[in-house]
Amino acid sequence: MGFTTIIDILGAAIIGGLLLINLLKLNENVYQVDSATGHDVSLQVEVINIANIVDSDFNKIGYCANPLNMNDDPKVILADTSSIKIVFDVDKDGVYDTIYYYVSNTSYLSNTPNPRDRILYRKVNSDYPFIVSNNITEFKLHYLDAFYDTLSTPLASPGLATYIKISFRVEDPFAYDEKYTEAFWRRLTVTSKNLKRN
């Protein structure tokens, strides 16, 4: 075996090694993009599901199937930055129900790697709370009066709230490469034709 043959074999091994490293790096990049895309799609679906529930409820504030039972009492009875109690006829039986949205603290999901995730609850009257999402990292409510002036929270008189701004963020409970996939939803103003205006 000659000297040039050894150099040819070493050169081929180095080039083959570089090609193999590039292929492994490409495979890692494809996996990372595929993983991020999959997590992003599942979070987008979750955002749509949460938004549909929240939007449906907030559009019904003050609704009552029996117009004779409608009254002038405030339809927002508790208003804070991350919790709200609203009133409408959920089961269309002509009687007002109280719907309470609130978030847990982060210790409820301490078993997940994401340190920010919480549970968003929806409670109707005295029923057991329903979990709307367990990937919420932010659920914010802002209240405005009839003149679009922002009201400070918690509202001492929730009946003053004429418009409500809602926003929430969800994050994947598991990080990829130390990054959590997230999705955000915001509705600038929510008002209901039945919401009491002062």
Per-residue tens of pLDDT for the chain, all 198 residues: 566 777 777 777 788 777 777 777 766 765 665 555 666 778 888 899 999 999 999 989 988 888 888 888 888 889 999 999 999 999 999 999 999 999 998 888 888 888 889 999 999 999 999 999 988 999 999 998 888 889 888 888 887 888 899 999 998 887 777 778 888 999 877 776 666 544
Residue type, 85: K
Q: What is the pLDDT of residue 45?
A: 87
Q: How far apart are CA 16 and CA 85, in angstroms?
A: 66
Q: With CA atoms as reference, report the closest residue to 114 among 179, 174, 38.
A: 174
Residue 111 is given by DSSP the state T
Write down the pLDDT at residue 57.
93
What pLDDT, on a 0 to 100 scale, did the predictor assign at position 122? Answer: 96
On whether the CB atoms of residues 58 and 141 are closer than 8 A, the answer is no
The domain spans of the chain are: 44-190
Q: What is the pLDDT of residue 195?
A: 61
pLDDT reported for residue 129: 95
**Cα gap 116→138, rounded to integer Å:** 8
User: Would you state the pLDDT for residue 101?
Assistant: 96
Going by the DSSP 8-state scheme, the letter that residue 66 receives in this structure is S
pLDDT of residue 71: 84
